[in-house]
Amino acid sequence: MTTWSKKQLEAFSTQAGFGSQASYIIVAIALAESGGNDQASHVNTDGSIDRGVLEINSRWHPEVSDSCAYTPLCSFQSAYNISNKGTDFNPWTTYTTGAYLKYLTGTEVTALGSITGSDVVKKVIQPLTPNSTVGQLLTALDILLALTSPFDISQTSPDAGISSAESAPVVGAVIHVFANIADDLIALIIRFVFLLLGFLILKRVFSQFIDVQTLQQKSSNVTPRKMGQTAMNFINKPI
């Protein structure tokens, strides 16, 4: 059994044919499904087995042998076919529920742009509806916090590229610096919005908790004697 790092999984996905953006998603799915464990196995209620680093189901994908499913590169190659060449990740539950989002870095989220934007709206904004449960709110908060790590701004420093472009025009170097600064500012703005949503979710969680506590206190004040008296009053009430 081997637990592969994110960087190693990215290498497998690239070898399997996934493009850069699709690679971000399939690797995040792999981490959400198995934590990178190439021998991960889960038996479902219908007797089927989710196998390997990408938890490929034996019932829905019998064309993928066990030896392939438990071999990382072959598993990613199979996933490339299952996902229609990296364009449809709905076969994985961790994608449809948004669980994979927490394994994306802020830089990856920015790079994915509209691809994950719809997922963030679907998995994070929608749980703010009045009908949402505490569990849904906490899941959304977990995703938001994972997407808003303050230590994961752009990995490219503002002066990156200047030393390696000594012969480049000064104007080009200055543009490069300001482009990187702009990227970081956009990332910070996105994080601020997500953190604000996180606070709103926490507010909802606490309000529901307080409502439950209040209901419990009210119910505890109703003694059997009071209940019996109320029943007798109802029975003896003139029609």
pLDDT tens per residue across span 63-75: 999 999 999 999 9
What is the pLDDT, as a whole number, of residue 122?
57
Return the percentage of the chain with pLDDT > 90, whole number.
37
- Summarize pLDDT for 80-100 with one digit per residue, the tens: 999 999 999 999 989 888 888
Radius of gyration (C-alpha) of the chain in whole angstroms: 25
Q: How many helices (H) and strands (E) does the chain have?
A: 10, 3
The CATH architecture that domain 1-103 belongs to is Orthogonal Bundle (1.10)
Helix (H) or strand (E) segment spanning residue 223: none
How open is the CA angle 116-121-127, to the nearest 5 degrees? Answer: 135
Higher pLDDT: 73 or 154? It is 73
In the predicted model, is pLDDT for residue 150 greater than 70? no
End-to-end CA distance of the chain: 76
Higher pLDDT: 87 or 125? It is 87
Q: Considering Cα of 72, then 77, then 79, then 82, what sign does the dihedral take?
A: negative
- Of 95-99, 182-186, 207-211, 227-231, the poorest mean pLDDT is in 227-231
Query: Which residue in the block uniquely carries the two structure tokens 């680093």?
Result: 53
What is the pLDDT, as a whole number, of residue 15?
96
Identity of the amino acid at 137: L
Higher pLDDT: 66 or 121? It is 66
In the predicted model, is pLDDT for residue 177 greater than 70? no
Residue 141 contacts residue 125 (beta carbons within 8 Å): no
Neighbours of 149 (CB within 10 A): 11
In the predicted model, is pLDDT for residue 146 greater than 60? no
